[in-house]
Amino acid sequence: MKNLSALSVISVSLLLLFLLVAPVFLSTYWIITLTEILIMSLFAMSFNLLFGYTGLLSFGQAGFFGAGGYFAVLMLLHGPESLWAALAAAIVGSCILSIVIGWLCVRLDEIYFAILTLGFGMMLFTIAHNWRSVTGGSDGLGNFILPTVSFIHWRISLSHPKHFYFLVLAVTTLGAGLLWRVVRSPFGLLLRAARENSNRIDFVGANVRSVRLLAFVIAGVLAGIAGALFALFNRIASPEMLHWSFSGKAVLMTILGGSGVLIGPGVGAAIFFVLEHLITMFTTNWMIILGAILVVLVLIFPKGVLGSALNILSRKK
Amino acid sequence: MDAFLINVLNGLSWGMLLFLISMGLTTVFGVMGVLNFAHGSLFMLGAYICLQLMRWSGSFWIGLLLGPPVVAALSVFIERFLLRPLYDRDASFQLLLTFGVMLFLDDGVRILWGPAYHVVNPPEMLAGIVHIFSQSYPVYRIFLVILGPLVGIALWAFFTFTRWGKILRAAAMDRQMAEIIGVRVPILFTAVFAFGAWLAALGGALAAPHQSVGPAMGEHVIIESFIVVVIGGMGSFPGAFIGAIILGLLNSFGTTLMPNIHNALPYILLTVILLTRPKGLFGGET
């Protein structure tokens, strides 16, 4: 086990090093793809704090993702043209939303939790879709000016793909670091304990609901940040970002990579995009293949690609 | 007043289709504990296979009669080879598996029949319009409004009076106890899953002349039938009936009275019910 944790430190450092130097030798196309992978990684990891660590399957995570996107764009359109203001709007907005919705959702678990989060997510979707005067309806909300970032005495334009890539890399790394701290803390232990046996957690004196609510809010805020980056990345916040099928993407990526490892969903996001890239070269109907892959993974490799690989490694030791 | 009654009829005709679909969903959940995400896709498959049989034979009735058994046969395969290995695992994994099956079937339909929408004409007997409440109204929808309760009564009689129906209710109430007194649960599960799929496909075939047939119809209906099942109480048969009528009426009245937020109404109802009566209106009294 000790070897394994040393191994994971080394491999995570290598991964970070690769991500830092990747823009030097990658083409612009792949830099943009990598940016999207990193954003979706943060989104999927936020989902997995609930699914993998707390045992709550949320089908409404896209609601917070999309809401974060809309809050950021609304701030850019009506407030100061500042990246920090936009991110702050996404954080505060998704935090308030996830406190309110989470407070109601954590009363239930298992399938009821999945359906309740689906319901709330779709309510947010309907608001984004129908409140035309504020959200632009089905057209989405675009036409904002991408802010420039002042860093010491440089002014950095985010419209350059490389600059945006480094912003996303920094935010996603911070988010992953935060999640790592959370799951390693006593609180993280409580989350896993609540997943295994929530009655017992109640008996030993911890409050399952408030433990779950805190996890829900952390996940909601991280999803909101990812959504804000996604809206800036695409230059538009659109209702599709809140639809339950978008939540399904986070589910897919997490299952692909593995729900038991912190960066599993990130690996899943990378596999997702590479598969999409490869399969759409041959056919436009790539969902049929993704569906088949999901079925095989659930049946044979429920720990996902990364989880299964780690299993094999640790068995050898 | 006339508009009101037309709204009621519209709501009831869609509600009756929802009832058939939700009935399958709720039976599968009640007996097997599996929430089937692919149920909407089976509904859609029912509509498409009915359409295809209609093209070959020229008769809607042949499609209605033979289509649903084809879908039921497919679902025997799904239950036997995909779901069965997962019964010991967490309920989330069963949901995820059916989610994968849904993606597969939805895109499969798109490959086989193309992304376009198809219009299915109702059979001659039920085509045309009648004049009621000094308005003209499609006969086919009235047929659905009458058929729904008939199917409901038939299902009720099946569950109450036949041996198989009693076994099903016993298994829904207490799976282990049913197994102990000699019910062969594996075969029962296969039968229940196929029965649920048959109901979904029957709903799909009946929906074909009611709305246009397209690759998005499954995705739309699965969420609505989830809501019906949750409102009525998961596993509850009268709950599915009442829930379907409520949702059908909410749909028709919402569209005319509150066009801006009518899309959100089912979700608002869902959350209110889940938070005040988590087991649904008829939960806990199967």
- Residue B126 inside a domain? The answer is yes
Surface-to-core class of residue B286, CB atoms within 10 Å of its CB (0-12 exposed, 13-18 middle, 19+ buried): middle
Contact B80/B193 with Cβ under 8 angstroms? no
Q: Provide the pLDDT confidence category of residue A135 given band limits of 50, 70 and 90.
A: confident
- Residue B36 inside a domain? The answer is yes
Find which of A135, A276, A295, A301 to mutate to test the B interface (most B CBs within 10 Å of its CB).
Answer: A295
Domain that holds residue B44: 2-276
Q: List the beta bridge partners of residue A157.
A: A148
DSSP state of B120: -
**pLDDT score, position A72:** 93
d(CA A159, CA A87): 17
E-only strand ranges, A28-126 = none
Q: Which string of DSSP letters, residue by residue, matches A198-267?
A: HHHHHHTT--HHHHHHHHHHHHHHHHHHHHHHHHHHHT-B-GGGGSHHHHHHHHHHHHHH-SSSTTHHHH
- Residue B281 inside a domain? The answer is no
- Nearest residue of A to residue B260, measured between CA atoms: A130
Q: Provide the pLDDT confidence category of residue A129 given band limits of 50, 70 and 90.
A: confident
- Which segment of A54-63, B69-78, B104-113, B257-266 scores lowest on mean pLDDT? B257-266
**pLDDT score, position B1:** 62
DSSP state of A179: H
- Given B96, B227, B268, which is nearest A294 (Cβ)? B96
Contact A271/A256 with Cβ under 8 angstroms? yes
B267 touches chain A (CB under 8 A): yes
- Given B92, B95, B97, which is nearest A295 (Cβ)? B97
d(CA B96, CA B37): 8
Distance from CA of A244 to the nearest CA of B (A): 10
Distance from CA of A216 to the nearest CA of B (A): 17
Q: Region A213-224: what's the mean pLDDT?
A: 94
High-pLDDT (> 90) share of chain A, %: 30
- Given B93, B99, B111, which is nearest A288 (Cβ)? B111
Q: Provide the pLDDT confidence category of residue B257 given band limits of 50, 70 and 90.
A: confident
Measured CA distances, A309 to A232, A240, A260 (Å): 35, 34, 12
Please check the confidence at residue A2 and state whether its pLDDT lies above 70.
Answer: no
A110 touches chain B (CB under 8 A): yes
- Residue B286 inside a domain? The answer is no
Residues 277-296 of A with CB under 8 A from B: 285-288, 290-295
pLDDT digits (tens, 9 = 90+) for B182-197: 888 888 889 889 999 9
d(CA B249, CA B16): 11
B103 to A291: CB separation less than 8 angstroms, yes or no:
yes
Please check the confidence at residue B285 and state whether its pLDDT lies above 50.
Answer: no
pLDDT digits (tens, 9 = 90+) for B67-82: 899 999 999 999 988 8
B85 touches chain A (CB under 8 A): yes
- Residue B285 inside a domain? The answer is no
- Given B85, B99, B261, which is nearest A294 (Cβ)? B99
Contact list in B for residue A298 (CB cut-off 8 A) is 86, 93, 96-97, 100
**Full-model pTM:** 0.85
Q: How many domains does chain B have?
A: 1
A57 to B99: CB separation less than 8 angstroms, yes or no:
no
d(CA A215, CA A194): 11
Contact list in B for residue A247 (CB cut-off 8 A) is none
CATH code of the domain covering residue B191 = 1.10.3470
**pLDDT score, position A98:** 94
- Residue B283 inside a domain? The answer is no
Find which of A56, A108, A115 to mutate to test the B interface (most B CBs within 10 Å of its CB).
Answer: A115
B104 touches chain A (CB under 8 A): yes
**pLDDT score, position B94:** 85
pLDDT digits (tens, 9 = 90+) for B121-166: 777 777 777 777 677 778 888 888 888 888 888 888 888 899 888 8
**pLDDT score, position A150:** 72
B110 to A251: CB separation less than 8 angstroms, yes or no:
no
Find which of A53, A57, A104, A123 to mutate to test the B interface (most B CBs within 10 Å of its CB).
Answer: A123
**pLDDT score, position B286:** 41
Q: Region B215-240: what's the mean pLDDT?
A: 84
Which tokens is A246 given?
């978008």
Q: What is the average pLDDT score of chain B? A: 84
- Given B92, B223, B227, which is nearest A57 (Cβ)? B92
Q: Provide the pLDDT confidence category of residue A223 given band limits of 50, 70 and 90.
A: very high
CB atoms near residue A36 (< 10 Å) = 16
High-pLDDT (> 90) share of chain B, %: 11
- Which segment of A40-44, A73-77, A146-150, B153-157 scores lowest on mean pLDDT? A146-150
Distance from CA of A290 to the nearest CA of B (A): 7
**pLDDT score, position A40:** 94
Q: Provide the pLDDT confidence category of residue B279 given band limits of 50, 70 and 90.
A: confident
- Given A123, A290, A292, which is nearest B264 (Cβ)? A123
- Given A51, A116, A295, which is nearest B274 (Cβ)? A116
Q: What is the average pLDDT score of chain A? A: 87
High-pLDDT (> 70) share of chain B, %: 98
**pLDDT score, position A35:** 93
Q: Region A48-58: what's the mean pLDDT?
A: 89
Find which of B88, B93, B104 to mutate to test the A interface (most A CBs within 10 Å of its CB).
Answer: B104
Q: Region A120-145: what's the mean pLDDT?
A: 85
Contact list in A for residue B96 (CB cut-off 8 A) is 251, 255, 294, 298
E-only strand ranges, B3-158 = 129-132, 135-138
**pLDDT score, position A219:** 95
- Which segment of A2-6, A108-112, A138-142, B211-215 scores lowest on mean pLDDT? A2-6
Distance from CA of B152 to the nearest CA of A (A): 26
B274 to A130: CB separation less than 8 angstroms, yes or no:
no
**pLDDT score, position A1:** 45
Q: Region B250-265: what's the mean pLDDT?
A: 80
**pLDDT score, position A317:** 54
Measured CA distances, B112 to A43, A147, A163, B100, B105 (Å): 34, 47, 44, 18, 10
A126 touches chain B (CB under 8 A): yes
Q: Provide the pLDDT confidence category of residue B284 given band limits of 50, 70 and 90.
A: low
